[in-house]
Amino acid sequence: MTTVQSIIIAIVEGITEFIPISSTGHMIIASKLLHVVDDDFTKVFTVAIQLGAILAVVALYWRKFFDFKNYQFYLKLFVGVLPALVLGFLLSDRIDEMLESTLTVALALLGGGIILLFVDQFFIHPTISSEKQITLKQSFFIGLWQCLALIPGMSRSAASIIGGMQQKLTRSLAAEFSFFLAVPTMLAATGYKLLKHVKEYGGFTTDETKLLLIGNVVAFIVALLAIRFFINFLKKYGFRVWGIYRIIIGAILIILLQTGYLKA
């Protein structure tokens, strides 16, 4: 992976992490189109730079994350992240296999896009508009929804936002809670991936470390801009536009796979 390739992939991550179109799926597509070597470092890179984007949430909502008196907030995040941590650990090898599959991404984008076309019609009577109203039980169920994102192309933000709306959260609160939940989720995923790589390969080279740093910084900066855009866009237009986008991209990917331009 070159520096230019790492920057492009990080830009893709920063833009797509908080939009319900799957950042992992788009990074896999970008890597394939850029002809990035599909090795273990590439897999680590596409997970690790998501942390940079997620830290943009901490920067924008720092009052929430550093309000240590509000222990219930941290407890909700802990309960919400548990399902993904357990399932992610148990299915780690299978998830790595799926990360290599462009077909999996295409089908997940397509299927998820169809669901997003109708989401706004499913959940039309929200009753929860403040994070303090969210119960531990609701946090857990939102965490269960987030597990769908273990499939590349499904989108962590889409799964957890839909989960929030299913639990009666308003659309904007569901999006914000999805952002909050992303922080411990990606901290754990990145930490696990980095430790696993160090254990198997003894660490990172100087060039690999440089690429990881560049990727995280770029993803962080781009994500700062993307978060506000997404919240405002979601309030105005809902999910239908993203559903249409996912269907188009999924269909294009399937065509590229069928024509042999991309490998499954």
Residue 51 clears pLDDT 80, i.e. is over it = yes
pLDDT band at 91 (very low <50, low <70, confident <90, very high): confident
Write out the residue range of the structural domain in which residue 169 sits. 3-258
Residue 168 lies in a domain: yes
Asked whether residue 263 is assigned to any structural domain, the reply reads no
Q: What is the mean pLDDT of the chain?
A: 90
Q: Does residue 48 carry a pLDDT above 80?
A: yes
Mean pLDDT of 39-48: 88
Tens of pLDDT along 187-196?
A: 888 888 889 8
pLDDT tens readout for residues 166-189: 999 998 899 899 989 999 988 888
pLDDT tens digits, residue range 220-264? 999 998 888 888 888 788 889 999 999 999 999 999 888 887 776
The share of the chain scoring above pLDDT 90, in percent, equals 48
Question: Residue 6: is its pLDDT beyond 80?
Answer: yes
pLDDT in the model for residue 133: 94
Domain contains 86 = yes
Residues whose CB falls within 8 Å of the CB of residue 245, separated by 6 or more in sequence, listed in order: 21, 113
Predicted confidence at residue 230, as pLDDT, reads: 85
Query: What is the rounded CA–CA span in Å between residue 171 and residue 173?
Result: 6
Q: What is the pLDDT at residue 207?
A: 94
* Residue 264 counted as domain residue: no
Residue 221 lies in a domain: yes
CA distances 264 to 27, 142, 254, Å, are 15, 31, 9
pLDDT in tens, 97-123: 777 788 888 999 999 999 999 988 888
Token readout for 128 is 């929860």
Q: Tell me, yes or no, whether 130 lies in a domain.
A: yes
For residues 117-146, give the mean pLDDT. Answer: 92
The answer to whether residue 105 is domain-embedded is yes
pLDDT at 202 > cutoff 90: no
The domain total for the chain is 1
Q: Which residue is listed with tokens 């999996």? A: 104
| Residue 151: inside a domain | yes
Whole-model pTM over 0.95? no
